[in-house]
Amino acid sequence: AQSVTQLGSHVSVSEGALVLLRCNYSSSVPPYLFWYVQYPNQGLQLLLKYTSAATLVKGINGFEAEFKKSETSFHLTKPSAHMSDAAEYFCAVSEAGNTPLVFGKGTRLSVIA
Amino acid sequence: DAGVTQSPTHLIKTRGQQVTLRCSPKSGHDTVSWYQQALGQGPQFIFQYYEEEERQRGNFPDRFSGHQFPNYSSELNVNALLLGDSALYLCASEADGPGGDTQYFGPGTRLTVL
């Protein structure tokens, strides 16, 4: 069975500081990995995805993530936090296309002015 | 190009009642999945529909059922509502086949059971 662990339910950073949100996964097959962002009272928006191509994936809004098979990790980073980045972030794993997504519990990112 | 749409936005029901939620997939998508997101949790997979059939199902009771129409839109039905069914219900769509590896989500329906 697949699973996702997001370390830290709440991360707080200063505006302009590095953002690092951690995600570790468990999968018996080569995984597809995703990061989604959820703003208050809204649905999920795709930030980026890894589907067995380049291990460093660039997404929207300046975010990127690196797939590290040896560490079973897919951490999300952004060099400089912006106030508009404050939201809930979810890491998810699936076995392939058209298969269910398994989500982590989420990490709430706060950005301090 | 319209994304995934869901209706209604909010819904309030009482225990024991039945509810129907609706979803229209993104243009060009033929596969629809439903997820339940309880407060403070990540979404959990309910089931997936493709070609008007339930293709996969998560660990949810039979009170949760669905339907997909020929135009690929979908409904989620929940019978005999419990307080614990209060959640945000998310619909996601994707294209079937090799090119379909990403699920796009709608804004969700917030269900409150009193």
Dmax over CA atoms of chain A, in Å, equals 42
The list of chain B residues with pLDDT below 50 reads: none
**Residue B99: predicted pLDDT:** 58
β-bridge partners, B90: B35
Burial of A18 (0-12, 13-18, 19+ CB in 10 A): exposed
**Residue A62 confidence (pLDDT):** 96
pLDDT at A97: 72
pLDDT score, position A98 = 74
Minimum distance, in Å, between the CA of residue B111 and any CA atom of chain A: 12
pLDDT of A33-77, one tens digit each? 999 999 988 889 999 999 877 889 999 999 999 999 999 999 999
Q: Residue A96: pLDDT band by 50, 70, 90 thresholds?
A: confident
Residue of B nearest to A97 (CA): B101
Chain B CB within 8 Å of residue A104 CB: yes
